[in-house]
Amino acid sequence: MKCKKARRELLGFVDGSLEGEGRRAVAEHLWVCPQCAEEERRLRSVAEALGRVRAVAPSPSLLHSTRSEVAALRRGALARGKGVVRGIWHLSPTALAVVAVLVVGSGLLMAHSATTGLKARELRQLQQRIEGQGLLRQAHLSQREMPQLADQMVLAGVELVLREVVNLSPDSAGQQGLEQLKRRVTMSKLEDSLTSLVGRSEGREKRALTQLLRAIEDIEKL
Amino acid sequence: MSAVWRVELISSLSEDVLVGRTLEGDEQAFEEILRRYNKPIYSFIINYVGDYDVAQDAFQEAFVRAYRNLKRYRLGTNFSAWLHKVALNASKDCLKKRYRTQRIEVHESEDFDPVAMLRDNGPSPEEALEKRELQAVVRKALSSLSGPHREVILLYQFQGFSYEEIARSLRCPLGTVKSRIHYAMRRLEELLRPVVREMRLG
């Protein structure tokens, strides 16, 4: 190995990241080249000196004020409510479509199940519902940023599907679950939230929200 | 008991999980991120900016920006590297702001006498080391490097990132990162040589 190449590899040699054949080649070169050996000794000594510098912690008051700043940011985002509209748009098109499909799909299911009573389809819908929740999470649908809407969209979808499951195989636990859900959310609340959002949004967001609102109104008509 | 369980549970979560939970509104998740990273990020910032007051502003700004932009972090990549990049940008902006309002003393390498600094601060270099005076000497040496050299050497030598991680984080060619680190190490070696010699004699 020549000095030029050895010098290029010296840092890796000193910090241990150079391994195997490369490391052996540098070590052999250092045996026969006093200049490179001196360079290696210098690099190692400065690395050791730097390694003795301890990490410094911020003062408790700085940590406290940083926490306060972050908390204020969180409260500000909630109070402004901007996160809701941005959040909805952030969902589009994937998660928003999932929500719409689930709500519409559940509604259609409700319309047909009285005559067909397809349990397998019910289960598929439930599965989609769960996957939908996963998608919502991936899309960072924050239940804190969107406290009412997120809850209501998810629960309204679940309610519609659960209602059908209960219709097919009524049992007290399922009925109880449905009653609990009903107490927490109603379709009218969801509509109210959406109507208010449509009023505050504009452009593409407004169109997407309006479509969703119409889909929910259609389900209600069914 | 449940509080202890909660602490143990959250401390075992990966950064990606903590990011996901923070985005879902879990306040404790971001608190855990702050707990894990406050020391390395503060060390990085203070060594980069070399000024106590600027470091206070930059530290706060770094975590506020990290919180605000958490959605931009791509899950599955290196969270630590992402956070250091946020801290680096916050530090640069805070330095610029400070330069606009008042001139920070620039440490010229010609005036730099690390051994005298150690002697001024303690009767022997060994004792001075124990009192963390080496920190001040090294920080002064770092401040005489250019910004690009300082940022790579801090990420490499102090924060333990690999060349590849630094290159990805700074969006800089690998060769450039390597040569900057090499140059910075040589320069620091020159600046700190008397200290290292004193340390050995001590």
pLDDT in tens, B145-193: 999 999 999 999 888 888 889 999 898 999 999 889 989 998 988 888 8
The mean pLDDT of chain A is 63
- Chain A residues with CB within 8 Å of chain B CB: 8, 11, 17, 42-43, 45-58, 62-63, 65-67, 69-71, 73-74, 90, 137, 140, 142-145
B-chain residues near A17 (CB < 8 A): 162-163
Of A36 and B103, the structure prediction assigns the larger pLDDT to A36
Task: Report the residue from A53, A143, A144 with minimal CB separation from B138.
Answer: A53
Which of B127, B196, B200, B201 is the best substitution to test chain A (most A C-beta atoms within 10 A)? B196
- Is 90 exceeded by the pLDDT of residue B104? no
B1-105: what fold? Rna Polymerase Sigma Factor; Chain: A (1.10.1740)
Nearest neighbour of B157 by CB, restricted to A42, A47, A55: A47
Contact present, A163 and A110 (Cβ < 8 Å): yes
Q: What pLDDT sits at residue A26?
A: 92
Q: What is the total count of domains within chain A?
A: 2
> What's the CATH number of domain B108-202, 1.10.10.10, 3.30.870.10, 1.10.443.10, 3.30.420.310?
1.10.10.10
A92 and A128 assigned to the same domain = yes
The tens digit of pLDDT for each residue in B21-80 reads 888 878 888 999 999 999 999 999 998 998 888 999 999 999 999 999 998 888 888 899
Residue A66 lies in a domain: no
Domain assignment present for A112? yes
Q: Which of B23, B60, B163 sits opposite A65 (nearest CB)?
A: B60
ipTM for the assembly: 0.78
What residues does each domain of chain B span?
A: 1-105, 108-202
Q: Domain for residue A164, yes or no?
A: yes
Q: A59-109 pLDDT, tens per residue?
A: 998 999 899 888 888 777 655 544 333 333 344 343 444 455 455 444 444
Q: From the CA of A134, how many Å to the nearest CA of chain B?
A: 12
Q: How many CB pairs under 8 A join A and B?
A: 102
Query: Do both A36 and A88 map to the same domain?
Result: no
Name, of A46-50, A141-145, A203-207, B41-45, the range with top average pLDDT: B41-45
Full residue range of the structural domain in which residue A36 is found: 3-51
The alpha-carbon gap from A142 to the nearest alpha carbon of chain B, in Å, equals 4
pLDDT at residue number A14:
86
Q: Is B162 on the interface with A (CB under 8 A)?
A: yes
- B14 to chain A, any CB pair closer than 8 A? The answer is no
Q: List all residues 6 or more positions away from B120 whose beta carbon is below 8 Å from its beta carbon.
A: none
Q: Is residue A109 part of a domain?
A: yes
